[in-house]
Structure 1
Amino acid sequence: MKRKIAAVAAIAATLLGAAACGSNDEDAPTTSASGKVDGTGKTLKVWLMVDAQSAWKNVVDDASKRFTDATGAQVNVEYQQWANHLTKLDATLAGNDVPDVVELGNTEFPKYVFSGAFGAINPADYENSGSWLQGLKGACDFEGQTYCVPYYAGARVLIYRTDLFKKAGISEAPKSYADFLSAADKLQAAEKANSKFGAVYMPGQYWYAAMSWVKSTGGDIAKQEGDKWVGQLSQPASIEGLQRWVDLAKKYSKADPTKNENDQANTFAQGTAAMFYGNAWEQGAAEETKKDPNNPDSPLVPTKVKGKLAAAPMPEVPSFLGGSNLGITEKSQNKQLAAQWIKAFTDSTSMAGLVKANALPNATSLLDKAAADNPAIAPAALAAKNSWFPPNAEKWADVEKSAVLQTMLTDILTGKKSVADGAKWADDQINTTLNES
């Protein structure tokens, strides 16, 4: 089956040029990263997000130097801002002067894979590809081929108050889900005099968390059956996980059922909860905040939970994995050079550099060493071993944009719908959106 060109209504018209330039058949040739390539006199254009510039530019520079030494080609790295990078990419892909290598967030990649904006690669050419993190790799795969290379990741973990654990007689982080609930009960009992306290901060529209609970019981959001996508939230395994999450939120959380998780670190820092489920970096965000939140240059100041937090994997709950991938544009005139640069930038040497900068490497085979080399990322490294990714469907971004899952969760938590009715409603919405022509 052919990848649909960007003229399909769901894909922005500006991508048409990118899709029309190459073959879109499932047996289209892949770009090889093996062997030697003579790049003398050529310059490779690479678009990376600004995180690489601020956090691990030394890794970028080292990989580029090794690439230049091996090929003779130069590298021009242009750092992009998250706020406007997709708008800029769409406009650029409509022309002919395109970057050869592009970084995108893992949830951003599928749209461009379906549109034909990126060329296929051969995973076997890249180090550690046999154990690439599924939460990253899932965004790259389509109809038997791979269209991007996992770059780095971040995982969600359980962040908790060590002082409140001690006060409640809890000596260690929970090792099982039963331990987690037992800890929540003890924390709730220890703070029963505080009417504002909830053992777990879990905002009602936190769909990444709710779907992680769905995944924990073997459920799913949607799956492909032939040419159609079928919502799975009303299936028994999904209902079990969804009910488990609802029970948790209702019993232990004082968070607003109509609110998402965007400011949960700041809310947690106010001291009215003992645990929350968040990105590993949110531990630091909860401990320190800007003195003037409206001034990006304002200095950081400690919050009331500074020095009182620790992190651990959420037991028995797979982690939604955030992160980035790297692709070779279909219009690139330097595809083999692009593959060689990505190969250097994602090899074990580069991954070790990312680990030093507190990022997770791109493969499960590297996670144990990452945790040993940098204890600060150990909880996230353990959590990343069991990760998940949303349905790799052309219209998935439209599901997110329409807030189907958020609406379902709020309706359930506020009593507007039962778990079963909410799940059935969400399935109907997902079916309509994902199968829209």
Structure 2
Amino acid sequence: MNNRILAMSTAIVCAVAIGGCGLLEDGGKGRTKVTVWLMKDSASNDFIERFTTDYEKEHKDVELEFKIQEWGGIGPKVTAALTGAKGAETPDVIEVGNTQVAQYAESGGLLDLTLESMRDLGGKDWQPGLAEPGSINGVQYGIPWYAANRVVIYNKDLFEKAGITELPKTREEWIDATEKLNKDGNQGIYLAGQNWYVLSGFIWDEGGQLAVEKGGDWAGALDTPAALKGMEFYEELQALGDGPKDADEEKPPQSGVFAGGKVAQIISVPGSAAGIEKANPALKGKLGYFPIPGKTAKRPGSVFTGGSDLIVPERARQRSAGIEVVKALAGEKWQAELAKAMNVVPNKTTLADVNNGEEGPAAMARAAAAGRATPNSPRWADVEAENPIKPYMTAVLQGRDPKKAAKEASDLITDLLARR
């Protein structure tokens, strides 16, 4: 994804790099060098070093080179690598945001990994929010690597004072609990008016979409009855706190508001807890987590899944060796290691219990089973850049007719998705 949702307190990742390219000379004794681009903060230095040592021990003819990339400006750099632009380096494996795969696939420079996904990697068990955006027109270009998603972070003391002993599992229970928490000057929930990722989950729960594809063309869908019902629930929940109607969760940062100790709940990634506890050490050990409740207790609410997929460029010099590295990184052994090292969700639903010892990541993993991704259009990045969803939400929360506001926003989304 372009707009990262991961808030991690991980040490900055550094490269495990070895010079040369292709077949290493001299000390390399003819070993094949595989170059991997990973994004900053996706894996710790310790994880990369352990993976490198283990992999090179098992594959004595391979030398790994990891190069860490910044998220800012990565799009043009990856596109240049895929298209073979003059002077561009083309690595053998690239980590990309899960919602970026469609954009890169449009360049025609991605290797088809469908066979590997079904034969060697157990694609049927992948997290849907990673697998679906990695597949374009039935071709699997992106291999899921890790996921992260929002959960409800709550203040255990305020829940106890309100007499709430059972965590809510349905929307109805959630509203009831939040109303009980609105007392003694406390906010039951702090939800900014333009948190469109949260809105997306409510829309998906109702069977709606942000945009739909019809005959190869994309159109905004915020004005459908299902999407409007999602916005209706968002409005009901948002009213149970004092979050601004005309700003998103970063203005002001919701973790800072929560750290004040008078807010019972926010919706965020578990990694936000580190910043909250740093701002208010008195809250250390007093934060709890649960999945966003669904319409029924049978499954949690839908959530936007952020995270990464791994791709192999068609122009890669070591395509076969690169595929083998992808298999290892996406395989169960190193998925479990990555989840524990970085407190992220593994790429398979069958690995959801890896972090059961950590309350936040465990709640995130349970919620990930209902994860979704944004519309799989190569132009979706343009929608996020201009983002007509945010002003639409503000308009509704400030009293404007929802149908009219949704129609205008949907038309803008349609126009943005049609641009070339």
One fold, TM greater than 0.5? yes
Structure 2 counterpart of 1:285, from 252, 264, 275 = 275
- Does residue 269 (structure 1) correspond to residue 252 (structure 2)? The answer is no
Give the corresponding residue for 1:166.
160
How many equivalent pairs are there? 378
Q: Does 2:310 correspond to 1:326? A: yes
RMSD, aligned CA: 2.0
Identity %: 30
CA contact (8 A) 2:129 2:371 kept: yes
TM-score w.r.t. length of structure 2:
0.85
Tell me the equivalent position of 1:345. 329
**Would you say 1:153 and 2:150 are equivalent positions?**
no
Q: Is the 8 A contact 2:147 2:307 kept in 1?
A: yes
Structure 1 residues 274-318: Cα deviation after superposition (integer angstroms, max 9, x where no partner): 1111112112222224xxxxxxxxxxxx44533321001111021
Q: 1:409 aligns with which of 387, 393, 398?
A: 393
Shift of 1:435: 2.2
Is contact 1:231–1:427 with CA below 8 Å preserved after alignment? Answer: yes
Moved over 6 A (4+): none
The more displaced of 84-93 and 399-408 is: 84-93
Aligned ranges 1:6-405 → 2 under 5 Å: 41-53=31-43, 55=44, 57-58=46-47, 61-62=50-51, 65-66=54-55, 69-70=58-59, 72-93=61-82, 94-95=85-86, 97-121=89-113, 122=115, 123-188=117-182, 190-191=183-184, 194=185, 197-249=186-238, 251-262=239-250, 263-289=253-279, 302-316=280-294, 317-357=301-341, 358-367=343-352, 369-372=353-356, 374-405=358-389
Residue 90 of structure 2 aligns to a residue whose secondary structure is: coil
- Does the CA contact (< 8 Å) of 1:158 and 1:277 recur in 2? yes
Shift of 1:235: 1.2
Report the secondary structure of 1:220's partner residue.
coil
Question: For 2:356, what is the secondary structure of its paired residue?
Answer: helix
CA contact (8 A) 1:136 1:324 kept: yes
Deviation at 1:323, TM superposition (A): 0.7
The residue aligned with 1:7 is none
User: Equivalent residue for 2:10?
Assistant: none
Q: Distance in 2 between matches of 1:147 and 1:210?
A: 28
Q: The residue matched to 1:165 in structure 2 has which SS?
A: helix
Structure 2 unaligned spans of 5+: 1-28, 295-300
User: Structure 1 residue 230: deviation in Å?
Assistant: 2.5
| Contact 1:63 1:344 (8 Å CA) reproduced | no
Change (3 A) 1:149 1:56: farther
Give the secondary structure class of the aligned counterpart of 1:203: coil
Q: Could you say what secondary structure the match of 2:274 adopts?
A: helix
Q: State TM-score, norm by structure 1.
A: 0.82
Q: Secondary structure at the match of 1:171?
A: coil
Matched position secondary structure for 2:148:
strand
How many Å separate the matches in 2 of 1:151 and 1:237?
31
Aligned partner (choices 420, 434, 437) of residue 403 of structure 2: 420
> Secondary structure of the residue that 1:265 maps to in structure 2?
helix
Q: What SS does the corresponding residue of 2:346 show, helix, strand or coil? A: coil
* Paired residues of 1:159 and 1:309 also in contact (CA < 8 A): yes
One-letter amino acid matched to 1:394: P
1:26 aligned partner: none
Aligned counterpart, 1:19: none
SS of residue in 1 equivalent to 2:376: coil
Displacement of 1:139 in angstroms is 1.9
Where structure 1 has 5 or more consecutive residues not aligned to the other structure, the ranges are 1-38, 290-301
